[in-house]
C-alpha cells in the first residue's frame, strides 16, 4: 500500500505540472496582500541532503498555509554562488591550492571554472525540490553571482559606507590556511573539534637576573617565535619560588601554585602584586625578532584584566599577530609591531629559517625540541581540548592579524538587540538564548575576503593621496571611469582605474571581495535588484513575514540579515522565524557518504513517499531546534499509523458509497442528529482550530500528536462504531447523514492537511468530488478551512472519550483473561463515583456492549472494595514551591485519606497545612485489587469472566462469521454482494450454525445457508475453529440456483 501512495504522488506531480497549479495559486492571489518570505540561499556545491529537505518542508508548509488563506506568497529560490565553498570545491576538483590555480588559470580562467560549478547541481536540486512537493519558483531564481544582484549588494555596502559604518583595520581574525582567507567569527564557531595538542610551560629569563624566570604556559608552541610580551593580571598576587636544590627562581601566580608541576621542590621567597611586575624586561625566547627593541617597547611584562586564574600559570605569552587580545594589549602599550612569520598557507616563511616551509601544526615538535635544548622547557604533556576547524576544508584554523574591512556592528548593537526583540522565534528560547547571547557579545564584522571568486568590495583608493571612494552602482562607476561594465566580478573591474580632475594620483580598487554572508544578508533587496530595476515600495518586499533555516544560522544568516536591515532601515529583517535542529545519522554521528550511515533522500522518497517524509520531519523535535537521529523506521511509522489509515478511511467511504451509488449536492456543514456524527464534526473542527493556532503562531511542534489522535479516532471510533449504519440495506436519512458527515469531514481534513501532506490531500480532495460538491480543481487553490465554534461540543467529546476508555479497558481485561472478543460475556461493571461518567456511559451503552460483546452494563459508585487509590506529589512543581518543606508535604500527600481524595477530585483543590493544592499538584493513580479490574483515571472497569454453554455457542457463531468474511475477501467479492453458502461442519459446529443461522446470515449478507454432506468438497475453503472443522463454498446469490438441504 505504501508503494501505491508513492505512485499516486507521481500522478499528482504530473497533474500539478499539467494544470500549472503553482502559477494558478499565485494568479488567484495576485491582488491580495502579500505574505513575504525570504528563502535563504544554499551553496550550489552539492546535492540536497536531509537538512535541506527539512528546511524546504517547513518553508513549503507555511507558504501553502498562507496561500490557502488568500495571501500572495511569492516563493523564489536562491543560490549562494560565491566565496569559500565554491573556491574550495574548484580547488579540490583541480587538485590545486587557490594560489596554484590562480597562477595556472589566471583570475578570469579561475572565475570561469567557479561559475561553471554553480550550474552543475541545479537540475538535481530541482528534481528533489519538486519531488518533495515544494512549490517554489526555480526558473526565476536569484543567484548571488548575477550582475543585478551584485549591483544591489554594492548599493547596500555604500549605504553602510555613507553611515560611517565601514572601516579598515588590522585585526586578528579566524583564518583558513586551506582556503587562504579570513573567516567571520560565526563561521569559525561552527566547527569545533576535540583534538590533542602539546601543553607546555616555558621559562623566560629575566633581563637583569639570569636566575629569575617567568613561567608562561601555552598549547600553541608555534606562536612562541613571535612572542613580544608577557601579560599578568594587575589585581592578582604572584610569588617568587626558589628551587630547593638550585639557584633557579620562578615567578607564577599564587592562585596557580596548586596546579604547578613539582611544586614540592620549591619554597616561596617573595610575594608581589601583578602591578609591581609591570615594566620588567626579559630575554627573547628566540632571536628572530629581537631587533624590535630598537623601535618598540617589547620583551617586557604588561598587565590586563583578561588574564584569569582558571588555567596556566597566571603569566600569559603574547604574540600580537596570533591573538585578538594579544593585539589589543600590544596596541594599548603603544606597540604597533606584530611579526607574522606564517604565510596564508599556514607555513613558516624565511623569517625563521629553521622552520621555513613547515606547516604551523607540524612545527610544534621542532620548537619544543629547540626550547628543550636551550633549557627553557619546564613541563611538557598532551591535553585534549576543543579547537576551531575550517567548516569547509575541515582543517585547523589559526587566528591571524590581517588587514580587513569591517562593519561597525558595535555602533548599532543596542538598536540591533532592540529590533531583534520584536521577532517571534520558534522555539522561543533561541531568542534570548543562542541568538540573544550572540547579539550581546557581537563584535565588528570582518566582511573582506582574500578570494578571487566573489563580489568585489567597491572601494577605490588613490595611490598618492590615499583618499577612498565607495562606488554604489554600475552607473556611478561609469561616471568616474567612463567604462560601463556588464559584469562586476574581479576580472572585469580590477583593471578599472580613474582619476579626479585637480587631484593627484590614480584610484585603484582594493583587492578584497565581500564575505558571502554579506551577500546573503543583502538578499531582501538584491533579489529584486532594489533600488534600480524594481521601483516597488520597500514595504512590498521588506521586512519578511517569515524565514526558516537551521540552528547554525543563528550566528550566520539570521544575524547578518538583521545587521544590515538595522543599519539601513532600523528594523528587524523578518517578523517570524522557525529554527530547525540538526539531523544526525541513526548512529548519532554526522551523516556521511563514506560511513554509509544514512539512506539517500531519493530512496526514502520512492519507498515511503514525500508525504510520509515531510510529516516525519515536521513533527519531530527538529522543529524545536533540537538535534535528532534520523530513523527510516520513523518515516515508515508515520506511513503506517497516519497516512494509510487516513487513506483507508476514504476507501471505506468509497467502497460503500459506490455500492450504494451515493452522492450528495449538499453544500456546507451537515446538521446531523446522530451523536457520533456530531462528535466527528466537533473533533474535526477542534483539529482545524488547533492547526490554525499552531500555524498562526509559527509553532509546528505538537502537530503530529493531534493529527495522529484524530486519524486514530476517525478510524477506530467513528468508522468502527458506525459500520452497521453503512451496512444498512436501505438508504435511510440516518445512513445519508453518516455518508455526508464522513465525506464532509474527510474534505475538511484534506484542506487542513494540505500544507503538510500536499500529495495525499490533493488526491483525496479530488476523489471526494465524486460524492460532494467542492470548490476548486485543487485542494491547494481552496481556502484553508475555518473552524465553526457552534460545531464544537466538548461535553460530547468527553462522553465519547469515556466510552472509548471503557471499551479499551474491557478489551485489556479480555486479553488479560485470554477471552476472545467473539465470546460474549454476561456483564461489565463500571466503577466510578462521578455521575457524569455514568451518564456518558449510559448514552453509549449500546456501542459499549456491542464492541465488548457484553450482555449488560452494571454500575458501582463505591470503589473502595475493588480499587486501591494512591496519591503522589508532583515533585518538580512542589519541590520548587516548598523547598525544604517539601518533605512534610510529600508525607501528607502520600497519606491522603479517601475523603480528601474525593474532595480534591470534586472541588479541584484541597488545603493541607495551610497551603492550597490543586489537582495539578497531586497525582492520583488507581489500581485494581484483582485481575478482573482495570483502571484509567477516574474510571475503573470489572468484567464477569464466567462462561456458560450459551455464551460459548454464541462465540463459536461469531467465529463462523469471521471465517465467512475472510472467504468473501479471498474471493474478492464486493461488500454489497449477497451470497449463497453451502457448508459442511462437524456435528457440534453444525448445531451452532443451525442455532444462530439468522444472526450469521444477517452479518454476512447470506441469503441461503445450506448444509451438505462431505463429498466433492476438495475445492471448498477449509477452516479450523478450535478443534472443529468447517468447509465453505460461497457464490454470489444470482450465479447459482438454491440447492435443497437444511437451512
Rounded to 10°, the helix 845-852/794-816 angle is: 20
Instruction: Check residue 1041 and give its pLDDT.
Output: 42
Single out the residue in 886, 914, 943 at which a domain terminates.
943
Instruction: Check residue 930 and give its pLDDT.
Output: 85
Task: Identify whether residues 197 and 332 lie together within a single domain.
Answer: yes
Cα-based angle 31, 36, 41 (whole degrees, multiple of 5):
135
Sort 87 into a burial class: Cβ within 10 Å, 0-12 / 13-18 / 19+.
buried
Does 181 reside within a domain? no
Task: Identify whether residues 225 and 293 lie together within a single domain.
Answer: yes
Strands of the sheet with 547-550, listed across from one edge: 424-426, 576-580, 547-550
Contacts of 291 (CB under 8 A, 6+ apart): none
How far is Cα 390 from Cα 233, in angstroms, rounded to an integer?
Answer: 32
C-alpha cell at 867: 480499587
Closest CA relative to residue 300, chosen from 250, 230, 213, 214: 230
Instruction: Check residue 11 and give its pLDDT.
Output: 97
DSSP 719: I
CB atoms closer than 10 angstroms to residue 294: 7
Instruction: Check residue 797 and give its pLDDT.
Output: 94
How far is Cα 990 from Cα 313, in angstroms, rounded to an integer?
Answer: 96
Does 901 reside within a domain? yes
Q: What is the largest CA-CA distance in the chain?
A: 128
Residues composing the chain: 1047
How far is Cα 821 from Cα 807, in angstroms, rounded to an integer?
Answer: 11
Contacts of 19 (CB under 8 A, 6+ apart): 777, 778
Task: Identify whether residues 657 and 579 lie together within a single domain.
Answer: no
Instruction: Check residue 2 and give its pLDDT.
Output: 59
DSSP 718: I
How far is Cα 717 from Cα 658, in angstroms, rounded to an integer?
Answer: 22
Task: Identify whether residues 1029 and 935 lie together within a single domain.
Answer: no
The structural domain count of the chain equals 6
Cα-based angle 170, 175, 178 (whole degrees, multiple of 5):
140
How far is Cα 9 from Cα 175, in angstroms, rounded to an integer?
Answer: 47
Instruction: Check residue 1014 and give its pLDDT.
Output: 65
Task: Identify whether residues 873 and 845 lie together within a single domain.
Answer: yes
Which residues of the chain fall below pLDDT 50?
Answer: 1040-1047
pTM assigned to the model: 0.84
Kindly give the residue spans of alpha helices, DSSP state H, lying in 442-556.
Answer: 474-481, 490-493, 516-521, 523-526
Place of cell 567548516: 391
At 188, give phi and psi (nearest 5°): -70, -25
DSSP codes, 321-338: GG-HHHHHHHHHTT----
pLDDT digit string, tens, across residues 431-471: 999 999 999 999 899 899 988 999 999 999 999 999 999 99
* Residue 687 belongs to domain with CATH number: 1.10.730.10
- 216 in helix, strand or coil? strand
Residue 183 Cα distances to 145, 390, 397, 434, angstroms: 20, 9, 9, 20
Residues involved in catalysis:
41, 80, 517, 553, 557, 590, 593
**Start-to-end Cα distance in the chain:** 40
β-bridge pairing 547-550 and 76-79: unpaired
Does 238 reside within a domain? yes
Place of cell 580587513: 404
Instruction: Check residue 1047 and give its pLDDT.
Output: 36
How far is Cα 482 from Cα 470, in angstroms, rounded to an integer?
Answer: 16
- 450 in helix, strand or coil? coil
C-alpha cell at 407: 562593519
Closest CA relative to residue 750, chosen from 764, 739, 740, 738: 764
Single out the residue in 733, 750, 785 at which a domain terminates.
785
At 400, give phi and psi (nearest 5°): -140, 140
Instruction: Check residue 86 and give its pLDDT.
Output: 85
Task: Identify whether residues 26 and 59 lie together within a single domain.
Answer: yes
Does 519 reside within a domain? no
Task: Identify whether residues 758 and 898 lie together within a single domain.
Answer: no
Task: Identify whether residues 540 and 602 lie together within a single domain.
Answer: yes
Instruction: Check residue 1042 and give its pLDDT.
Output: 39
Task: Identify whether residues 610 and 668 lie together within a single domain.
Answer: no
Instruction: Check residue 286 and give its pLDDT.
Output: 94
Does 449 reside within a domain? no
- Please write down the HEC assignment for all residues of 484-511: CCCCCCHHHHCCCCECCCCCCCCEEECC
Contacts of 664 (CB under 8 A, 6+ apart): 736, 739, 740, 743, 771, 772
Does 830 reside within a domain? yes
CA atoms within 13 A on the CB side of 626: 10
Contacts of 951 (CB under 8 A, 6+ apart): 823, 824, 825, 826
Range of the domain at 26: 2-155+525-624
Single out the residue in 487, 511, 535 at which a domain terminates.
511
β-bridge pairing 628-629 and 583-584: parallel
CB atoms closer than 10 angstroms to residue 268: 11
How far is Cα 257 from Cα 244, in angstroms, rounded to an integer?
Answer: 16
Task: Identify whether residues 615 and 639 lie together within a single domain.
Answer: no
Task: Identify whether residues 255 and 317 lie together within a single domain.
Answer: yes
Sort 178 into a burial class: Cβ within 10 Å, 0-12 / 13-18 / 19+.
buried
* Residue 547 belongs to domain with CATH number: 3.40.50.620
Buried b (16+ CB within 10 A) or exposed e, 16-40: beeeebbebbbebbeeeebbbbbbb
Task: Identify whether residues 216 and 346 lie together within a single domain.
Answer: yes
**Contact between 630 and 50 (Cβ < 8 Å):** yes
C-alpha cell at 701: 511542534
Does 1047 reside within a domain? no
Does 793 reside within a domain? no
Amino acid at each position: 500500500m505504501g508503494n501505491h501512495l508513492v505512485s499516486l504522488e507521481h500522478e499528482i506531480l504530473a497533474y500539478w505540472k499539467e494544470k500549472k497549479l503553482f502559477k494558478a495559486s499565485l494568479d488567484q492571489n495576485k491582488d491580495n496582500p502579500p505574505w513575504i518570505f525570504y528563502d535563504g540561499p544554499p551553496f550550489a556545491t552539492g546535492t540536497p541532503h536531509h537538512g535541506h529537505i527539512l528546511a524546504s518542508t517547513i518553508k513549503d508548509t507555511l507558504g501553502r498555509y498562507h496561500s490557502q488563506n488568500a495571501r500572495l506568497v511569492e516563493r523564489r529560490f536562491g543560490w549562494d554562488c560565491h566565496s569559500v565553498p565554491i573556491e574550495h570545491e574548484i580547488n579540490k576538483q583541480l587538485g590545486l591550492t587557490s594560489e596554484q590555480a590562480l597562477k595556472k588559470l589566471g583570475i578570469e580562467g579561475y572565475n570561469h571554472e567557479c561559475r561553471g560549478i554553480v550550474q552543475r547541481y541545479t537540475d538535481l536540486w530541482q528534481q528533489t525540490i519538486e519531488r518533495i512537493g515544494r512549490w517554489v519558483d526555480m526558473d526565476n531564481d536569484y543567484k548571488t553571482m548575477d550582475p543585478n544582484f551584485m549591483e544591489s549588494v554594492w548599493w547596500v555596502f555604500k549605504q553602510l559606507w555613507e553611515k560611517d559604518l565601514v572601516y579598515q583595520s588590522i585585526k586578528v581574525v579566524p583564518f583558513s590556511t586551506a582556503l587562504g582567507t579570513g573567516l567571520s567569527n560565526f563561521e569559525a564557531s561552527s566547527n569545533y573539534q576535540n583534538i590533542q595538542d602539546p601543553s607546555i610551560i616555558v621559562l623566560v629569563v629575566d633581563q637583569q637576573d639570569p636566575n629569575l624566570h617567568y613561567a608562561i604556559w601555552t598549547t600553541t608552541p608555534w606562536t612562541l617565535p613571535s612572542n613580544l610580551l608577557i601579560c599578568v593580571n594587575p589585581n592578582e598576587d604572584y610569588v617568587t619560588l626558589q628551587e630547593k636544590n638550585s639557584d633557579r627562581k620562578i615567578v607564577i601566580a599564587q592562585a596557580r601554585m596548586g596546579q604547578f608541576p613539582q611544586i614540592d621542590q620549591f619554597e616561596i621567597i617573595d610575594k608581589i602584586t601583578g602591578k609591581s611586575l609591570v615594566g620588567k624586561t626579559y630575554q627573547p625566547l628566540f632571536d628572530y625578532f629581537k631587533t624590535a627593541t630598537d623601535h618598540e617597547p617589547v620583551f617586557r611584562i604588561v598587565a590586563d584584566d583578561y588574564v584569569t586564574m582558571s588555567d596556566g600559570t597566571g603569566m600569559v605569552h603574547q604574540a600580537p599577530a596570533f591573538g585578538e587580545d594579544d593585539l589589543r594589549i600590544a596596541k594599548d602599550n603603544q606597540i604597533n609591531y606584530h611579526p607574522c612569520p606564517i604565510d596564508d598557507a599556514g607555513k613558516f616563511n624565511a623569517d625563521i629559517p629553521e622552520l621555513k616551509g613547515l606547516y604551523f601544526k607540524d612545527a610544534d615538535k621542532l620548537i619544543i625540541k629547540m626550547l628543550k635544548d636551550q633549557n627553557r622547557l619546564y613541563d611538557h604533556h598532551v591535553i585534549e581540548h576543543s579547537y576551531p576547524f575550517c567548516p569547509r576544508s575541515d582543517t585547523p584554523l589559526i587566528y591571524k592579524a590581517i588587514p580587513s574591512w569591517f562593519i561597525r556592528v558595535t555602533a548599532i548593537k543596542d538598536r540591533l538587540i532592540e529590533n531583534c526583540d520584536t521577532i517571534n522565534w520558534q522555539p522561543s528560547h533561541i531568542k534570548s538564548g543562542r541568538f540573544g547571547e550572540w547579539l550581546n557579545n557581537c563584535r565588528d564584522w570582518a566582511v573582506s575576503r582574500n578570494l578571487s571568486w566573489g563580489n568585489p568590495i567597491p572601494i577605490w583608493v588613490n595611490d598618492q593621496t590615499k583618499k577612498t571612494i565607495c562606488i554604489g552602482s554600475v552607473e556611478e562607476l561609469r561616471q568616474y571611469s567612463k567604462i560601463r561594465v556588464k559584469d562586476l566580478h574581479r576580472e572585469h573591474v580590477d583593471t578599472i582605474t580613474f582619476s579626479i580632475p585637480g587631484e593627484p594620483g590614480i584610484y585603484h580598487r582594493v583587492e578584497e571581495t565581500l564575505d558571502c554572508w554579506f551577500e546573503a544578508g543583502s538578499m531582501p533587496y538584491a533579489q529584486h535588484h532594489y533600488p534600480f530595476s524594481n521601483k516597488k515600495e520597500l514595504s512590498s518586499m521588506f521586512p519578511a513575514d517569515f524565514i526558516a533555516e537551521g540552528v547554525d544560522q543563528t550566528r550566520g544568516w539570521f544575524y547578518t540579515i538583521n545587521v544590515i536591515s538595522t543599519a539601513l532601515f532600523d528594523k528587524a529583517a523578518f517578523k517570524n522565524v522557525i529554527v530547525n535542529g540538526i539531523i544526525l545519522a541513526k548512529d548519532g554521528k554526522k551523516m556521511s557518504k563514506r560511513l554509509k550511515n544514512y539512506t539517500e533522500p531519493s530512496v526514502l522518497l520512492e519507498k515511503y513517499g514525500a508525504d510520509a517524509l515531510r510529516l516525519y520531519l515536521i513533527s519531530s523535535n527538529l522543529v524545536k531546534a533540537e538535534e535528532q537521529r534520523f530513523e527510516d523506521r520513523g518515516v515508515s511509522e508515520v506511513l503506517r499509523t497516519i497516512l494509510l489509515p487516513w487513506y483507508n478511511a476514504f476507501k471505506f467511504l468509497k467502497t460503500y458509497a459506490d455500492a450504494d451509488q451515493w452522492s450528495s449536492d449538499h453544500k456546507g456543514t451537515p446538521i446531523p442528529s446522530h451523536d457520533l456524527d456530531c462528535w466527528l464534526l466537533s473533533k474535526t473542527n477542534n483539529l482545524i482550530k488547533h492547526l490554525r493556532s499552531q500555524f498562526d503562531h509559527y509553532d509546528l511542534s505538537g502537530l503530529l500528536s493531534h493529527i495522529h489522535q484524530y486519524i486514530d479516532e476517525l478510524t477506530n471510533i467513528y468508522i468502527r462504531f458506525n459500520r452497521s449504519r453503512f451496512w444498512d440495506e436501505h438508504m435511510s436519512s440516518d445512513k445519508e447523514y453518516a455518508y455526508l458527515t464522513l465525506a464532509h469531514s474527510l474534505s475538511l481534513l484534506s484542506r487542513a492537511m494540505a500544507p503538510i501532506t500536499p500529495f495525499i490531500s490533493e488526491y483525496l480532495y479530488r476523489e471526494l468530488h465524486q460524492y460532494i460538491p467542492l470548490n476548486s480543481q485543487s485542494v491547494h487553490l481552496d481556502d484553508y478551512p475555518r473552524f465553526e465554534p457552534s460545531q464544537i461540543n466538548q461535553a460530547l467529546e468527553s462522553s465519547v472519550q469515556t466510552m472509548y476508555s471503557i471499551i479499551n479497558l474491557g478489551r485489556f481485561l479480555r486479553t488479560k483473561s485470554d477471552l476472545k472478543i467473539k465470546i460474549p460475556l454476561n456483564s461489565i461493571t463500571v466503577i466510578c463515583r462521578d455521575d457524569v461518567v455514568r451518564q456518558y456511559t449510559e448514552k453509549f451503552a449500546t456501542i459499549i456492549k456491542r464492541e465488548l460483546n457484553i450482555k449488560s452494563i452494571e454500575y458501582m459508585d463505591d470503589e473502595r472494595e475493588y480499587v486501591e487509590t494512591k496519591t503522589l506529589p508532583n515533585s518538580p512543581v512542589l519541590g520548587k514551591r516548598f523547598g525544604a518543606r517539601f518533605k512534610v508535604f510529600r508525607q501528607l500527600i502520600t497519606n491522603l485519606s479517601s475523603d480528601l481524595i474525593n474532595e480534591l477530585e470534586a472541588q479541584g483543590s484541597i488545603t493541607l497545612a495551610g497551603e492550597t493544592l490543586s489537582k495539578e499538584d497531586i497525582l492520583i493513580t488507581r489500581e485494581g485489587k484483582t485481575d478482573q479490574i482495570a483502571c484509567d483515571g477516574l474510571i475503573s472497569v470489572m468484567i464477569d469472566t464466567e462462561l456458560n454453554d450459551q455464551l460459548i455457542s454464541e462465540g463459536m457463531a461469531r467465529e463462523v462469521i469471521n471465517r465467512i468474511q475472510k472467504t468473501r475477501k479471498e474471493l474478492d467479492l464486493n461488500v454489497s454482494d449477497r451470497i449463497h453458502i453451502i457448508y459442511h461442519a462437524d456435528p457440534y459446529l453444525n448445531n451452532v450454525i443451525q442455532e444462530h443461522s439468522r444472526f450469521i446470515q444477517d452479518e454476512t449478507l447470506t441469503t441461503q445457508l445450506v448444509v451438505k454432506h462431505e463429498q466433492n468438497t476438495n475445492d471448498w475453503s477449509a477452516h479450523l475453529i478450535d478443534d472443529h472443522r468447517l468447509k465453505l463454498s460461497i457464490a454470489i446469490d444470482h450465479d447459482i440456483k438454491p440447492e435443497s438441504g437444511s437451512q
